[in-house]
Structures are given as C-alpha cells and as structure tokens.
Amino acid sequence: MMFTPVSNSTLSFCGSDNSSAYKVDNGLLNNGCFLDALGVVPHVFLLFSTFPILFIGWGSQSSKVHIHHSTWLHFPGHNFRWLLTIVLLLVLVCEIAEGIVSDGFNQSRHLHLYMPAGLGILAAITSIVYYHNIETSNFPKLLIALLIYWTLAFITKTIKFAKYDDHGIGLRQLRFCITGLLALLYGLLLGVEVNVILRRRYMWFPCPTEVKPPDDLQDLGVRFQQPFVNLLSKSTYCWMNTFITSAHKRPIDLKTIGKLPISMRALTNFQRLRKAFDAQKGPVPLKGSRWIWLALRQAFGRPLVLSITFRFIADLLGFVGPLCISGIVHHISSDNHSALPPVKLLGVHFISSEAFLANAYVLAVLLFLALLLQRTFLQASYYVAIETGIKLRAAIQTKIYHKIMRLCTSNMSMGDMTTAQICSLVARDTNHLMWFFFLCPNLWAMPVQIVMGVLLLYSLLGVSALIGATVIVVLAPLQYFVATRLSRAQKSTLEHTGERLKKTNELLRGIKLLKLYTWEHIFRSSVEETRRQELRKLRTFALYTALCVFCWQIFAVHVHMHSATDFDLSPAVAFGSLSLFHILVTPLFLLSSVLHSTVKALVRVLVLCPQYALQLQAKIVNRKNKAKQDVNRNFEQQDQELTASANQDEDVCIKIVNGYFTWTQGCPTLTSIDIKVPFGQLTMIVGQVGCGKSSLLLAALGEMQKISGNITWKSLPKSDSEENVRKRGSVPYASQRPWLLNATVEENILFDMVPNEKRYKEVIEVCQLQPDIDTLPQGDQTVIGERGIILSGGQRQRISVARALYQQTNVVFLDDPFSALDIHLSDHLMHEGILKLLRQEKRTVVLVTHKLQYLPHADWVWAFNTVQSFHKSACMGQTVEYSSTSTDEDSLRAELHHRTTIPWSSFATYLHAAGLLLLPLLVLSQLSKHSLMVAIDFWLAHWTSRVIAAQIESAERNCTDTKFSHSSYLQVFCGLCALGIVLCLVTSLAVEWTGLRVSRELHCSLLHTIVLAPMRLFETTPLGNILNRFSADTNTIDQHIPVTLECLSRSTLLCVSAVGVISYVTPLFLIALLPLAVACYFIQKYFRVASRDLQQLEDSTEMLLLSHYSQTIEGLTTIRAFRHEQRFKKKLLEHTDANNISSLFLMAANRWLEVRMEYIGAFVVLIAAVASISNTLCSQLSAGLVGLGLTYALMVSNYLNWIVRNLADMEVQLGCVKRVSGLIHTQPENYDGLMTPAQVPAGWPKYGEIQIKNLSVRYDSSLKPVLRHINSHIRPGKKVGICGRTGSGKSSFSLALFRMLDTIEGNRIIDGIDIAKLPLQTLRSKFSIILQDPILFICSSLSPVFLSFNLDPERKATDQMLWEALEIAQLMPVVKALPGGLDAMVTEGGENFSQGQRQLFCLARAFVRKSSILIMDEATASIDMATESILQKVVMTAFADRTVVTIAHRVHTILGSDVVIVMKHGAILEYNEPDVLLEQKDSVFSAFVRADK
C-alpha cells in the first residue's frame, strides 16, 4: 500500500526521487517523511493560536501595548526559559543546516528535512515573544497555549527519536543527536511551564497566587532597567535603545537617568560590606589583610565568580574562530577528501558530525554563531565585573565617610591628614579596587587562554609550536620587567604631578600677593622646575610604554615569521595558526598589566582599609550615642559625684571642671579649665592671640582630646529627666573662619531647618544681608560656590552668623563674628542680633571677641591669658577686627553640555603643538607600519599558495618528493619582518614623543599666560576651574590623548586594511559592506552623543562627590556642633548614587556599542567567508587568499568597536585641549613701560611722596569706575589713614598704586615719576603691602617650605633680619618655640598657626622688605587689642621716615595718623588731619569715631 501524492507540493515536501519515502506498509510512524510532517503540527498550532492574541488582541489596543515597566514581573524560571529557548533556536539552526547538507546528496529536494525546523524556529521566536508580552502584562492564564505547544512538541520529537532508535540510527548520525536534544529541550520547557502553574496557581487552583512587581519597578524614578529586563535584552542591552537615541535629541542629565535600583545603592552595599566585615570578627582576629579579602569575597564574591565563568566561556568560544578558518581553508583546498559518505535510512541520507563539519558553509555559519556567542558572553563578563566593582567602590566610599564623620579635628590642623589626601583616598584608591574587580576575570582567564592557545597550536603545528611557547616564556619576564618599571615610573610621575599641582595651587591662591610683591616669577620658576622633573618621569614612562607596545608588536611580527617557517606549510595550517597567535597577542600583552594592577590593588587594600580603620582610630572622636542624645564625645566614665555636682548647679548650662585638653598626644593645649556658662545669659571670652579662646569652644563641643577633667552639658531647668546631665543637643556654631556650603544663600541660612518666613526676614535684617542679597544675580537663590567663592569675607561671615541665629536652640556659640565687619555692621549685629534677638529668646550665648567695647553688655566675661579665668570685668580697651580668610580654591560648577561635532579645531591645535618634525614622522610611521604588515600577510598568502601549487603539480606527476625552494620566499619574508620590527619601534616612540612635546608646549604656554594674566581673570573665574586646566586637563593631555590617538589610528588603519584586503580577495564583499557601513555610521552617531554626555555627567557627579567630602572635612566642627551628621551622610549617599548611576549608564552604553559593533563584525566575517567560499568554487580563488581574507575579517570584529569607543573618548579629551587653548589666549597685563629698568633712578622711591591727580580707575572695561576723579597729595614720611563703609573704594585706592586696575584717566606720580611709565615688575617691587587676607605658603614632601621662605621668598635677607622682623611682629617667642625655628614647617592653609598669628607673619613679611612706601589693608584684623597697640607703636617707630597708608574699617587704628581720608562711593569725601575732622561734629569721620567707642 502506498501514499498517493495529491499535489506537487506534497511531492516536493517528501522529494520526488524516491517512492519509498511514501510507503507506509510498516505503519505511518515508520515513514521518515511522515515523522517530519508530524513535527510540523505543534508549530502550526502555536502560530495559529497565538496570532489573534499577539496581532489582533494587543494590536487593536495599541495604547495598552506599551505597558509601563512597573507592571514587569518575571514568572518562575524566567531566565532558564530564555536560556532554553536560545539553545533551542541554535539547535534548530543546526537541524536546518544538517537537512540542507544531507539533502545535497539526494537527486531532488526534500523539504521535510529542513522545513519543519524552519517552522520550529518561527514557533520558538513566537513563543518567547508571546511569553514576554504575557509576562509584562502579568496575565499568566494565557500561558495555556504554550503548555499545549510544549506538550505536543515534546511528544512528536520523542516519537521521532524512538523510531530513529528502532531503525538502528545511532549517535554516529548527527540527525539522531539533534532529535534527542530537541526532545530534551522541549521536555525541559514543558517542565518550566508546569512549574509556573504550580508556583503561580493560576490553573486548576481556586485561589491564584498574587505576586507584586519588585519595589524598584514600582518607582517611576528608576530607569536603569538592566536587572529587570529579559535575558535577551540583558545580553544585547536592547533596553538602552530608546535611551541612546533620545540622547541625540536632548541632553542627558541626572533627571534623565533617574535613580539607582535598591540593590545597587550605596547604602545597600555599605550594609552588605559592613555585615561581611562583622562576620570576620571572631574570637581570634585574623592578621594582615586576609580578613579584608575574606570580607570582600563574602560581600561581592558571587557575581565575580559569575563574571569569571562568562569569561571562561567567551575565551573557549574564541578559539572556534581560528579552527573554523583552518577548516574552511582546508575544505576549499583541492586535497580535501576526508569526509565520510552519508548513510541512507528511512529513504533519506543521514550524515555524520565529521561530514557535517567538513562543509565550508557550515563552518562559516558556525564561525558566525560562535562569534555572536563569544562577544555576548565577553560583554556579559565585563558588565558583571564592572557593576560589582562600582558596588564595592560605593560601599568603601560610604565607609570612609562614616570614618571621616568621627575624625578628630587635630588630624587636619596638625597636618596628619590633608583634604587632598582624603579626596585621593576616595577618588584614586577606591577606583583601583573597582578596576581590580574588572580585571579579576582576566587574572583567572588569561593563563587558561594562553595554555589552550598553545595546545591548539601544538595540534596544528606539532613540535614547532613549542618555539612559540618559548617566545612566550622569554617575553613574559621581559614584559613583567617593563611593566614593573612602568609602574615605578608612573608612581614617580604621580608624585611630581602632585607636587606640581600643590605649587600651582599655591600660586593661584596667592596670585594677588605674588603680583603685588612681584614674586610670580619665583613661583613660576618653581612650578616649571617641578614640571621639568615631571616631564623627565613622563619621558621614562613613555619609553617603557613604547617598549611594552614594542614587545607586543614584536610578538605579532614573530607570529608571522613562525607561521611561515614551517616547511610543511599549507594555507589551512598557516592562517589557522596565525589566527590563534592573534588571539594570544592580547592576553600576553595584558597579562603583565593585569598582574601589576592586581599587585597595586593589594597594596591599595593595605593602605585603604587598615590605615583608616586602625591608624585614624587613635584620633577618632567617641560618638557611640545618637545625634540628639549624644553624651559629650570625650566623656567615657560615668561619675556619680559629677552628676550630683551638676544637680547642685541647676542654672548652669555648661560646666567644665579641672579640664585638660590637647590637640595631639603631647602637652595639653588648655590646662586647669574651670568655667561655668549659666542658662539664658551672655558669656564673653576675650584674650590675646593664640591663648586658646577658639580651642575652649571646641573643647566644650568635644572636638579636642580630653586628658582629664569633666564636661557637663545640661538642658533647661524645666526638664526633669536625669539623662539631660552631660548630654547636649544641637549647638549653632559660627566658626572664626566662616564655613559655607556650595548651595544657595537661603539654604546656607536655613541649614535644613523648616522655613519660617518671618524669622528668616528677621535674621536677614539683623545681619544686614538684604543689600548684599539684592546685588546677587538670583537674590538669595544664588549658588554661592564652594567656600562662598563669589562672596566677600564680610558677607561670608554674616551668612555664617545668620545660620546660627536662625536656629532655635538653647545654646549658641559665636567665635569672633565681628572680625570681618565694619563698625556699623558690628554694632547692628551686636545690638539687634545678640542683645535683642537672642537675649529676648532667653538663649545661652557664648561669644568670643576682640571688641572690648561690648564687654559691658556681657553677663559673664572669661579673660584668657595664661588660661586663668576672671569674673566679669569693667575693663575696656580698643578692639581689633578679624578679616576672614578668602581662600579661592576649587569651585565646582556644572559645565554646559558641548553637544557639537568633533572639535577639529582643537585637534588642529594639538597637532600644531607637536611641531613640523614629529607630526610627519608620526603619520608616515603609522602608515608605513600598517602597509608593511599587510604586505607581510600578502607575501605569506602568496607563499602558501605556491606551496599548495607545487604539491598539486607533484601529485599530478606522481612524484613522492616535492621539490620546492623556500629560501627566496623566506629571505624576503624575514626582511619584511625585520623592517616591521624597526617600524614598530619607531611608531611607538613617535607616538609617545609627540604626546610629550604637545604636553610641554601647552603647559608652558598655559602657565606663562596665567602668571601674566590680569587680576580680573581670577576675580571672575573660579580658581577651581583654572586649577582644573593644570590638573585634570593637563593630565589628560599628558597621558590619555597619546594613548587614545595611537589606539584610534591603529584600530582605524587595521579595519581599513582589513576591508581593503577582503575587498581585494572578494570584490562582492563591497556590496554587502554598504548596509553594514550605514549601520555603523548611525550607531556611532548616536553613541558618541550619549557617551559624551554620560562622561561629562560622571565627571561632574564625581566632582560633586569629592566636593562633598572636602566640604565635610572643612566643616566637621560645625556639622557635629549642629548635630547634622545624619543629614550629611544622607547627602553623601545621594552624591554617591548619582555618580554610580552615571557610571553604570556609561558602562551600559559602552556594552551597547560593543555588542552591536561586534555583531556587525561577526556579519562581516560571515559575509567574507560565504563570499570567499563561493568565489573559490566559481573562480578557483587560491586558498592562501581565502585564509588571508578570513583572518583579516576576524580582525575587523575585534577592532571595529574600538574605533567608535576611541573616537568618542578622543572627542571628550579634545575638550581639554579646547579649554586649555581658550585660557592660553587670555590677554596678559601690560608689563612693559615707556622707561626701561635701567632708566629708573637707583633707590627710587627714596622719599615716598605720592601725588594723585584726577584719577579714575575700573576693574574692567565693561564695568563702571570704582574710583572717580581722585586728587590727593601724600607728603614724604606721612602716616595716612583711609576709612569708609564697605565698598567705598578703600582697597581700590591701594590697588591703583600698583596698577592692578584699568586706568581711565589721571596720573599717579611718586617721587616725581609717573608710575604709568614704569615697567610693572619694577613698580611693584618698590612697594610693600599687607593684604586683608593672611596667606602662608605650605610645605610639601618633595620641596619643603619653611617659615623663612614665607618671610623672604627671594632669599635676600639674612637670618638676623628675619628675626628682627619677627620681633617687631611680636612673633619671636612663637617661632623660637617651634621645632626648627625659622626652618619650621607650615601645614596646609597655615593651620598650625592661629588666625591672628598668620596675620602677624604677613606683617613680618612686609617688615623684611623695608620699602619706603608701606600699605596696610586691615593688617591687624585678627589681633587682640594689646598686641595691636604695640604693633601700631612699632610701625610708627620702625617706619618713622617712611610713608605708611593704613586702610581700616575701625577708625581707632588710624587716630594717630597724620592725615585721614574718608571715602564714599569711590570718591574722597573728607581729607584732613584727624584732630581737625574730630572738631567738626558733623563730619563723617567724627561719626565713625563716636560709633567705634
């Protein structure tokens, strides 16, 4: 009985060449065609059952298709289902390929061999799309269709497998294995579906299980979807498509990227790390760093193991490429007859695995699939490793911040640790650990990759492969040696870079002083000397980098030599081994770097964890109790007697009994302190400079180390709780150096308190801030910058005081709040703020001041001299004013998005700086090297083709011995390789030396421009921005741009040469290349914009994070006094999460790019392979050229993504060149004059006579004049005092004498010479000035700065002259007490001296110079009355025959002057002797004097 065909389609389905295919004598199930047709039934069922739901149900409600991700919910077995479906698709592809190959042995086409598999692929895709839509809508009941499908598919494949087994079809037939594997996969998918039913209870169960999506998905702010999307989207980053494309339309900001998922937040990972650390604390603590690594493994080890697993799989798949190339070339060779013949069973042919893999087209598809999987697993490994590193970085940064919050203030003030060191700890060391986690998979995978590569080479080349292994063994120690030297050179470079930045920072901070004293050339020379040392180290670093690259390229050239020197040469062996060697090049090149990074990470862990965990604990403040209920930090013992004593003094708020306090582990700073601060009263503390007034406040707040004694804090008497004794709440504290946040004025005043408009306005009025707020661009919503950079010293001081007044607490600490204020502001603040506002509210106020005229208002006065306390005294004296330090340092402002095309002008600037010699050498060496490498490969292809031709010719002649001379080919080949080695070295050196020359030229021009720039640049540009040009931008130009440029040029030339070679071998490739090129263009177009935005966002968030660290360190005392530790910790978590979400999106964008570019590279390989095979079969293309084309195609897949990555990096890095170049074009000051230095009379100015005629000046040509028509005549040797309200033009008057301002009209004649004619250096070198802000230059590790340098940087004065100046400034006892005397070190910001002592050093600096004209701009601002009185007398005596101009807010300091000038709005209002002006009762000066009493 036979099956009668009913149509031609039926015949074509089962074939027409064999009627046995339709016989059913033994039953339908014993017919092979029927078994295949039966397998179509499940696929048809699924397609027809799901079509209405997919395309009609959801399609008719298109508005509901795009369901928000808050409804996403993964069913049980989600990832396993996706994994099984992907494997199913791969097996079905193999079934199609097997059917097509086996069908090639038949006389007609048998569609049943591959058509069911095609429908199976369509059904599998439909099933996963259907499942995805059901899952996202959380409607599992519709999964019934999949349950039926998996059941039917499993049954049909099982029947087919069983029938194959009955007919003796076994494992040697590939179709049998594929059928069994399909049955297994369908069974597993059926099990997954049943598991969903049992877990969700949605079928046959009356009460289904209600499952809610994760909390992250219900938060609309979470936009990082990688942890929540399906497996396909995870592996290909498809969820990033919308994000990447939308970035081209609008800039990416923090709002765009949203919040981090909970599992990735800093707090979550900090708690995980802390839990792991706690788990390592056993009864026997582990020694060394082992416990740290165990904790890290416990907290973050599992995802790292997953990353290593992915990397192993990727590396194993990577070896499929060379083997496939070898097989393809071997297949198209004429000597390929090794395939086994097929077996005919059930009417069709069955082929073996060997025969299947002997087909060149099959190998091409296998190569394509292997590349896709290898790149997918590799990117997954990268993602998991980097994500884990980011989590670790966040956890450690948070842990460091918690330590900082408990850090004792003395660590900073005594120079034990600087802000820069802590920021380096946060930024650099934590990043080292993060990148170690990224490189950790390489550490495990690379040795395995090398061993596997050598074994495969051995299988191809035999014993000769050991030569390559020998080269590996020889080069490995050499590379490790070079990497070690490279590490040392880098470390030394970083030291000199840090030293240069310290000196540059000093130059920028003190640029005004340096210009006024003409010391800028001294500091510029110092920076240039350090830069020369840095460049020497950079040159060494560049040399070792070039050697490292050279070793790598030497190995690449050796690959070609070694592949060619096997005289049993065949194209399959030659190009298969060549591809294997190309794979080995990368791990061999990176192995030394990975080992070095690992060692560096080990060192960083030893530095990071034990140092901050153990060494800093010696000076950590005790803060075990919660913020609002914290016992005083330095009190540890519960003393019943103290409690009883405290109960006796019910009206005492603060009590210190027999207190001894110190900043360091040495002699106490404060001794025998016995004070009481009563409730609701004003207590004033007065004393000489350096006697310990500020230290007393900090001791009461618990900031000092307590040696002995007791501190008691007590709440209001109405509180009955016994626990109030020795505990304190928030204490508003206004420090002597005002500390402000980089926030708005309003935020600085409110300080996270509930807004109260009435009280806010009241505080603003008390502190007289409204006029200042009105002048700000956005009023009180103006961001004042880091450290209040846009504000004056007085404005910063008043905002700091306003913050303390706004708080409604019981106790207020004010440390010299009047120091930077004029007399009117001081009186208003004292009467309206302290005496009225605070006293009416019954607040307890502790006030440190030098203004003795306010003492009658105090309830208690504590006068400190030798740390003895006195009762309230009626003694009165003169006061001094403190001028707050204005340290214009790093200002962090968000930079605007530069969303333009590639900055070619900046690239031209960079190349122009390289010079006319190095630039052509760089271009020619690169082109020559890559052209030569292509020539070597072509010669190898030609050589191998000639060998094959000789073997064929010998076989045709029946000769057993093939006579072929390799010598001529070998000589040419060795000559080309030797030339290639030379060009590799020349290219490496040319790249590094070009980068060094550009670095030297740009930094030299930048430094020269900055030093000569007018002061207006520094007044309008935050110094942090200028410093970034010398730090981050210069570092990018020094070390990153050369590497990126070399990598970009190498990747581009390799890809261009690869496309050229493939096009030469198979011209049809150019047709298929066009759509791939279009895809590459749009991918890079969208990626570059998104990458640039994300990199800028990552940099800006990192700067904000570091700014928060530095702000916290500088304001530790204020934060802890206010009890705002938790608030700042929360803010840190926000900054850390913002930085991490930026890093994660940038990393995901990089993975998005690399997956797509490498997939395109895989398509390039597939097209090249298919085209080459087809071309060979049609036109007898040589096997050598086919191997050459495939080898280069494999290179395209490796380097294509690097072109786009490096192009995006170069675009960002050229922004540094653009910013530096923009600053270089700043117009300098006019240092030249009509007179030469030689024409200036010797000893000028001899008398100090100053004549000012109709002078008008302004700060900039776009601004209004600050001095208008000034006329004045100061006679030789006279003492002139200048006073006036804030902004009246007093300081501008003094700066005009130094030509620091633009002159509109008028003349300044000194001793008969118009100073406009003098060279600027000569003019400024003849005067002395003492500025309002005391500046001391700090020491550094490589070039220590001593006190003597601060007094005399020019080193013209003798030690005796320095001691005389110190004696005049009342500093001789202080300096003699220091270790080293004049050679004593100065710490950062001069913190090892008090504010008043720093001002005295600036006085001594001016005394050393001994010029005939001295200008004192609030020189005694931070000095007590007694010291100031002495100094005034000394100045009058020491400068009796010299002209002294004194500028003062407080007029009592200029009562002894010969002439007084009163200024208002840039004009001279009064000009006469002080006695004459005092006699005029209606004079402004007289009013000033009356207000100052």
Q: Which of 43, 36, 42, 37 minimizes the C-alpha distance to 175?
A: 36
Confidence of residue 10 (pLDDT cuts 50, 70, 90): very low
Say which residues have a Cβ less than 8 Å from residue 126's Cβ, sequence separation at least 6. 46, 47, 50, 54
pLDDT value at residue 887: 32
Instruction: Determine which of 21-25, 382-386, 1487-1491 has the lowest per-residue pLDDT on average.
Output: 21-25
How many CB atoms within 10 Å of residue 703? 22
pLDDT value at residue 537: 84
Q: C-alpha angle 37/43/44, rounded to 5°?
A: 85
Contact status, residue 936 vs residue 976, Cβ threshold 8 Å: yes
- Residues 1293-1322: what's their mean pLDDT? 89
Cα(1462)–Cα(884) distance, rounded to whole angstroms?
23
Task: Flag whether pLDDT at 558 surpasses 60.
Answer: no
pLDDT value at residue 303: 92
Task: Flag whether pLDDT at 874 surpasses 50.
Answer: no
Residue of higher predicted confidence among 559 and 968: 968
Strand ranges of the sheet holding 1413-1417, from the earlier edge strand across to the other edge: 1328-1330, 1413-1417, 1443-1447, 1279-1284, 1459-1464, 1467-1472
- Provide the percentage of residues in the chain whose pLDDT is more than 90: 11
What are the strands, taking DSSP E only, across 1025-1155? none
Computed from CA positions of residues 1066, 1071, 1074, 1080, in that sequence, does the dihedral angle turn out positive or negative?
A: negative
Residue 791 carries which DSSP code? S
Q: Which of 941, 816, 959 minimizes the C-alpha distance to 881?
A: 816
Q: pLDDT digit string (tens) for 1354-1410?
A: 888 888 888 888 887 778 888 887 877 787 777 766 666 776 777 778 888 888 887
Instruction: Determine which of 35-49, 223-237, 285-299, 1181-1195 has the lowest per-residue pLDDT on average.
Output: 285-299
**321 CB-side CA count, 13 A:** 32
Cis peptide before 1245 (omega within 30 of 0): yes
Computed from CA positions of residues 977, 982, 984, 987, in that sequence, does the dihedral angle turn out positive or negative?
A: negative
Task: Flag whether pLDDT at 60 surpasses 50.
Answer: no
Task: Flag whether pLDDT at 735 surpasses 80.
Answer: yes
pLDDT value at residue 870: 36
pLDDT value at residue 205: 67
- Provide the percentage of residues in the chain whose pLDDT is more than 70: 79
Residue of higher predicted confidence among 923 and 367: 367
Burial class of residue 1373 (count of CB atoms within 10 Å of its CB; 0-12, 13-18, 19+): exposed
Task: Flag whether pLDDT at 639 surpasses 60.
Answer: no
Residue 333 carries which DSSP code? S
Confidence of residue 894 (pLDDT cuts 50, 70, 90): very low
- Give me the chain's average pLDDT, please: 78
In angstroms, the Cα distances linking 988 to 225, 835, 1069, 1087, 1141 are: 42, 74, 33, 29, 37
Q: pLDDT digit string (tens) for 981-998?
A: 788 778 877 887 888 888
Please state the pTM of the whole predicted model: 0.78
Q: Which of 544, 569, 633 minimizes the C-alpha distance to 1120?
A: 633
Specify the residue for token string 């199913």.
Answer: 88
Confidence of residue 340 (pLDDT cuts 50, 70, 90): low
Say which residues have a Cβ less than 8 Å from residue 143's Cβ, sequence separation at least 6. 75, 131, 134, 193, 196, 197, 202
Q: pLDDT digit string (tens) for 797-836?
A: 889 899 999 988 889 999 888 877 777 788 888 888 888 8
pLDDT value at residue 286: 59
Instruction: Determine which of 689-693, 915-919, 1209-1213, 1440-1444 has the lowest per-residue pLDDT on average.
Output: 915-919
What are the strands, taking DSSP E only, across 841-934? 844-848, 860-864
Question: Pseudo-torsion of CA 1266, 1271, 1275, 1277, nearest 10°?
Answer: -10
Query: DSSP secondary structure string, 72-131?
Result: --PPTTHHHHHHHHHHHHHHHHHHHHHHHHHHTTSSS--GGGTHHHHHHHHHHHHHHHHH
Cα(523)–Cα(153) distance, rounded to whole angstroms?
82
In angstroms, the Cα distances linking 39 to 36, 101, 715, 813 are: 5, 20, 86, 87
Task: Flag whether pLDDT at 962 surpasses 60.
Answer: no
Question: Pseudo-torsion of CA 1415, 1421, 1422, 1428, nearest 10°?
Answer: 80
Largest CA distance in the chain: 141
pLDDT value at residue 204: 65
Q: pLDDT digit string (tens) for 738-748?
A: 888 888 888 88
In angstroms, the Cα distances linking 1130 to 1072, 1124, 1135, 1139 are: 55, 10, 9, 14
- Residues 489-504: what's their mean pLDDT? 81
Cα(51)–Cα(55) distance, rounded to whole angstroms?
6
Cα(1186)–Cα(1195) distance, rounded to whole angstroms?
14
Q: 3-state DSSP call for residue 1303?
A: strand
Q: pLDDT digit string (tens) for 1308-1344?
A: 999 889 988 888 888 888 888 888 777 787 655 455 5
Say which residues have a Cβ less than 8 Å from residue 1243's Cβ, sequence separation at least 6. none
Q: Which residues pair with 1444 in a beta bridge?
A: 1279, 1414
Task: Flag whether pLDDT at 1269 surpasses 80.
Answer: yes
Task: Flag whether pLDDT at 754 surpasses 90.
Answer: no
pLDDT value at residue 410: 62
